Every structure is written in C-alpha cells, then in structure tokens.
Amino acid sequence: MSGDGGFPGVRSLFGGKGFPGKVRLARKGQAGDDAASGAAQPQLEGSCDDPGAAGAAQELGDLSLNGGGGGGGGGRRMEAVSSDGPPAAPSGSGSGGASRRTSSSQSGEAAAAAATAAGGGSSPPADAAIRPQRDGVQVAALRSMSDTRIAKFKRLLDVQVVDLEALRELTWSGIPVALRPTCWRLLLGYLPPNRERRAQILTRKRREYRDTMVPDYYDLAASGVDQMGEELGALRQVAVDVPRTAPGVAFFHTPQIQKSLERILYIWGIRHPASGYVQGINDLVTPFMAVFLSEHLEGPMEGWSPEECGEGLLLDIEADCYWCLCKLLDGIQDHYTYAQPGIQRALFHTQELVRRVEEPVAAHLEKEGLQFIQFAFRWVNCLLLREVPFPLAIRLWDTYLSEGSQLKDFLAYTLAAFLLSWSSQLQTLEFQELIMFLQRPPTSGWGEKDIELVLSRAYMWRASFKGAASHFS
C-alpha cells in the first residue's frame, strides 16, 4: 500500500551496521579555507538558540568537511573527507563517488564559482575551495577510518564538559548510530554540556513533562472536562494526523506510540499558541522517536515492539521527544504561524539561489510558470522529511541539529541543492510533468552518499555566497 516503497535502508541504520567503513578518496576542497575557518573560530557559539552566532555555523560546517578543526593536521583532514560522512561532492577531478550526477554537480560548481567571483567581497575564492590537499594521506590509515571517527566522537564525549563547538563540527558529517541519541540531546541544548548536571536535568525535565504537562494540558482536554472550542479542535486535528504519521513504519502504529505522539503534539500546540499544532509537525517528531527508542530496542526498526520498554521508560522517551521537538521548532516557529512567513522566506531564498547557481534551471521553471511554492512548500514544512527515505531523514537531522540556530538559513541552500540534484532532467519537463516529478522526487533508491552530496553542495554554496548574503533581502 505504501506508495513510496517503504523504508529501504532502515536495516542498515538501526541494524548495527552503522559505519560501513567505505572509503572514498576525495580532493580536499569542500569550500575549505583554513584562514576563514581560523578567523571564525573565536566567534563560535555553542548555544543553539543564540541568534548572534550568525555565520559561525558556516565555518563549523566548513571545518567539519575538512576533517574537524582548522588547525588540524593532514591526518585529521584526510580522515573526515574519506570517511563515509561527507561526500566527495564539491571536489574537482579525482572524486570517485556520486558519478551519476557529476555533470550537474560540476555545472553547479562552475555557476557557484562564477557567482562567487561576481559576488566578490568577503567570500572565499572558489579556487581556494578546490585546492587539492593530500598531505598526510595514507591509504592504510583510511581502512580504520570509521573506528577512528567513532574514537574521535568518544574522545569528545568522554569528558567532563563537552566542547559543543567541536561536537558540531564532527556531527555535521553524520553521527555513529550508538552515539546519536546523546549527541542530538547535546546539540539541541536539552542535555547540558557538563556531565555532572545531566542526570539531574533529565530527571527534572522528564518529571515536569510527566507530572505537570501531561495532566495539566492533555489529560484535562482528553477527559472532555472544561474544554474550550479551540482545544477541542486542536485535539481533533492531532487525532486525525497521528494515525497518518510514518505509515510505513510499524512501531509508530502501536497503541503506546500513537498515544505518545498524540500527547506530544497536542501539548506542543497548546503551549505554542502563536502557531498551534500544524500538520506536518507530526512528521518532525518521528526522527526523535526513532532515535531515542533505538537506545532501548535491539535490531532493525521494522521489528521493534515499543511496549517492551515498559511504561515508565516510554514516558521518559516521550518527554525527551517533546523537549527536543520544542528546541527544534523554537528556531523555525515562523514556519507555522499565520500565512507561514518563514516558509515563504525560505522559498524565496531557495529560488534566488537556484537563479544564482543554475540560471538555466531557474529560467526554465519560470518559463513553464512553475512557482516554488507549488512544489517546495512541503519540502520546507517538513524539512525534506517526506522527500527522502526515513533513514536518510535521520542523517539529515544530524546536520540540521549541528547547524543549530543557522538551520533556518541553511535550509534554503539545502533545498536548492536538493532541487538541482535533477537539474538536467528538470529542463526537459513541462509544467505538469515538473510538478508531478517534484511532488514525488525519485529518492527511493538514495543512499547516504546522495543526501550527503546535497548537504555538501549546500554547504559549499553557503560558503560561496556568505559575503553576498544581502542579495536575499
């Protein structure tokens, strides 16, 4: 029944495969510029809700693509480039991966480079971005890359106070399965960096959710006592959407998880009256639920029985999902307020970027009378979650959460890169074919390298355009 072919790759994500240790020798590059990275470091802010950190995350991504750490030696740089984390996308020659979209990628590169040159100013020169760097690369060392990467995560996490900036650099390129739950909680600011305070805070937050919010908001409304019209409507809307959440993944449809989703969404909506619950927010809970459950359930997601966790543990997981959803949505709340201005802005930025990066595609879409809102509205509304297989959405979340307060800005680059994954194909389609194609983009066969190609192109374009960001407004 499922129209999108289920969830290929779920097994690989939650079945313990984790890091397959695939090695790809890429040119360095990836918009890296040591000078820029180094210069940016002092401004880096760990807090994900710090609006003043504008631009900082750009460099963060920059660093992570380069192997984490501007001052790192060649070995460190080589490591990140060749792990299964970052794709080889923006490289010049010699990149083995992602061949099926090489041509479009290159034309995008050329356009981006041209635009950079035109934009001038403080943008790092594009030729610096594709400068080959192979210092210290030893093929033998590549073999143990995934182990090295996990070890690196562990080094960062196994300390008294986690360096969030360093963590963001590392997590941007993907997080090992077993470490993902903790990393996400840290990245979102739900867990404090200080190890000593974590247990206490978790206990307090979970208790607050369980003992105060569920009874005060949900139980009251659900009991039918003291209902106002609006609350009733909100409850009804949530009840309509919960059964339609992640229809292809069985565990979401167990009674326990359905109830959890209903409470999370209803309580979030009531506590955020500026927007209330908006359809599609139900999708945004699913990565949290899957990742936090993965701490407690063995094997592939398809076989999970959440009731095995027991009621208490499930409530803790539910609380974590609720608080993490709050943190995620805090940064994009205007995506869901009246007339959804945040989405309109993201679409406008995306369109501008496409125009800058691949003018022929933009011109073709315009000639066909296709508006971005007609096909990309849902892309923004659900952060591309509906457009890619579920395991890849979780990988996307690694990068989104690493972006922190920069996610809003980064999203437009991601959407543009996603759209231009099919740049040559798009130019052969007419209005109706375009809209049919783009409302179901063919990603069912995508793997991590495909989504990482999108992310790294997005990353590169942001690095190129950052000096010319004013072209948006």
Partner 1 sequence: MAPRPDDDYDYLFKVVLIGDSGVGKSNLLSRFTRNEFSLESKSTIGVEFATRSIQVDGKTIKAQIWDTAGQERYRAITSAYYRGAVGALLVYDITKQTTFENVERWLKELRDHADANIVIMLVGNKSDLRHLRSVQTEDAKAFCERENLSFIETSALEATNVESAFQRILTEIYHIVSKKALAQEDGPAAAPSSGTAIKVTEAAPEAKKKGSCCQSA
Site string for partner 1, 337-366 (x = CB under 8 A): -xxx---x--xx-----------------x
Cα separation, 113 vs 91, in Å, equals: 12
Compute the least distance from the CB of residue 389 to partner 1, in Å.
14
3-state SS class at 101: helix
**Number of Cβ within a 10 Å radius of residue 207:** 13
Residue found under tokens 């490591």: 79
Figure out which of the listed residues 370, 393, 396, 416 binds partner 1, where binding follows CB under 8 A.
370
Figure out which of the listed residues 12, 148, 439, 444 binds partner 1, where binding follows CB under 8 A.
439
The encoded tokens of residue 332 equal 């994009």
Figure out which of the listed residues 2, 93, 470, 473 binds partner 1, where binding follows CB under 8 A.
2
Number of H-type helices and E-type strands within the chain: 24, 0
Site string for partner 1, 234-253 (x = CB under 8 A): --xx--xx--xx-xx-----
Applying CB under 8 A, the span of 126-134, 147-155, 272-280, 311-319 interacting with partner 1 comes to 272-280
Cα separation, 19 vs 175, in Å, equals: 9
Asked if residue 1 binds partner 1 (CB under 8 A), the reply is yes
Asked if residue 286 binds partner 1 (CB under 8 A), the reply is no
Compute the least distance from the CB of residue 400 to partner 1, in Å.
18
Residue type, 285: V
Applying CB under 8 A, the span of 135-143, 159-167, 289-297, 335-343 interacting with partner 1 comes to 335-343
- 248's CB contacts (< 8 A; 6+ apart) are 2, 4, 6, 7, 390
The encoded tokens of residue 334 equal 């205007």
Residues counted in the chain: 473
Compute the least distance from the CB of residue 271 to partner 1, in Å.
16
Applying CB under 8 A, the span of 217-225, 275-283, 304-312, 455-463 interacting with partner 1 comes to 275-283
Asked if residue 280 binds partner 1 (CB under 8 A), the reply is yes
Residue type, 51: P
Per-residue burial over 282-317, b if 16 or more Cβ lie within 10 Å, else e, is: bbbbbbbbbbbbbebbeebbeebebeebeeeebbbb
Compute the least distance from the CB of residue 231 to partner 1, in Å.
14
Question: For binding to partner 1 (CB under 8 A), which residues are involved?
Answer: 1-3, 236-237, 240-241, 244-245, 247-248, 275-276, 278-280, 282-283, 336, 338-340, 344, 347-348, 366, 369-371, 373-374, 377-378, 381-382, 386, 431-432, 435-436, 439
